[in-house]
Amino acid sequence: MPIQNLNRFLRQYFVESLPDIPQVFIDAIDKLRTSELLKNAGQIQVNIIFDDIQVTGTIDQVRNDINQIPEECEFHSFNASIVINENPRKTINMSYTAQNRIFTFQTQNFTREQSRQLFDLIKDKFPKSHREVTGEPKAEEQVVPVKENFLPGPFAPTPIPDEVSARNVFVIMSFQPEFRDAYYVAIEPTLTKLGFKPVRVDQIQHNRTVTAEILTQIESAAFVVADLTGERPNVYYEVGWAHRANKEVVLLARKGTAVHFDVAAINRIEYNDYTELCESLEKRVRAIAKKLGLNIEENTT
C-alpha cells in the first residue's frame, strides 16, 4: 500500500486544571480569528456540555448562552469546528474533556508551518500538565473488584458468580416449537445420562431480565451446549458470551443450517436425526468432561 499524505497536524496532551474552561476556549477561538489564515472562515460551530445541559451553536451564540448556565452546573466537555472555505477545504478542530483533561488540536489541509503558526496562537491558554512536561509517571491506579461496580435491580450488569457448577450445563438454542424435539429427545437425555443437569432459561423461575439470567447461567455453568439450528441472533450472542467467559462450548447444527460469520470455522456436531445427535453429543461431552476434570456419573434410570 503506498504511503498517503493526510495533510493533517495533530497535538494532543494533558493540560493543567483550568479555572474557567468554556471561557478559555472562547478566548482561544477569538485568538485564532485574528489570524490571516482564517480570513475565509465560515461559521464556527461550538458544542459545550455541562451536567445535563448542552450548549450548541455558532461561537457568538454560545458566547451569550453560557452566561445563562447556573453556576452549580459542572463543565464536562467542549469541542469546536472551524471550516475555511478554500480549495482544498481547510478545517480546524479543538476539543477538551474534563474527566481526563486531554486537549486536542487538529488541522486538515494546512501546511505544517501554517498549522504550527495557528497552534502557537493558542497553546499558552492550554498549558501542558506537570506530568506531561516532566515525564512523571501516573499515580498508581486503584483496582476496584469487578463486583463492586454492579448496581442493584433487574437491569444491573451481569454479576460474575462466586462458584462454577460442576454439573450444570447451560443449553442455548431456539425455543421455536419445531426445534423442541432436539432438546427433549436428544440433548436433555444425553446430558442427564452422563450425570449432568441441563439448564434452559425458559425452565428457570426468576425476577430478572431474561438476558441477565442467561448470562449469569452461562458464567456459572460447567460448560455450554449450543444448537445453531434456526439461525437465531440471540443464540449467536449467547455463544459469543460463552466464548468470552472461556467456557467449553459444544456447537450443534442440523445439516443444511447456514452457520454464520467466524463461528463457521469452529468445529461442530452436524446431525441428520436425533439418534445421530445423541451418539455424537455423548462422545463430545465425555471428551470435554475429561479435559475439565469432571466425573461422568452414569445415570441408567
Average pLDDT over residues 281-291: 94
Tell me the pLDDT tens digit for each residue of 171-194: 999 988 999 999 999 999 999 999
CATH number of the CATH domain containing 243: 3.40.50.450
Could you tell me if residue 150 is inside a domain?
Answer: no
149: pLDDT confidence band, cut at 50, 70 and 90?
A: very low
First and final CA of the chain: distance in angstroms? Answer: 66
* pLDDT of the residue at 123: 92
- Total domain count, the chain: 2
75-79, 163-167, 195-199, 295-299: range with highest mean pLDDT = 195-199
Residue 59 pLDDT greater than 70, yes or no: yes
How far apart CA 85 and CA 66 sit, in angstroms, is 28
Could you tell me if residue 24 is inside a domain?
Answer: yes
Could you tell me if residue 299 is inside a domain?
Answer: no
Q: Environment class of residue 115 by beta-carbon count within 10 Å: exposed (0-12), middle (13-18) or buried (19+)?
A: buried
* pLDDT of the residue at 265: 83
Please state the pTM of the whole predicted model. Answer: 0.49
Tell me the pLDDT tens digit for each residue of 202-251: 876 555 566 777 888 898 999 999 999 998 888 998 998 888 888 999 99
Residue 268 contacts residue 280 (beta carbons within 8 Å): no
Could you tell me if residue 61 is inside a domain?
Answer: yes
| 6 vs 201 pLDDT, higher one | 201
| DSSP class per residue in 149-184 | GPPSSTTSPPPPPSS--SSEEEEE----GGGHHIII
253: containing domain: 168-292
Q: Which residue has the cell 440433548?
A: 187
Residue 155 pLDDT greater than 70, yes or no: no
105 and 201 co-located in one domain: no
| Strand, coil or helix: 1 | coil
130 and 187 co-located in one domain: no
Residues linked to residue 102 through DSSP beta bridges, in sequence order: 14, 97
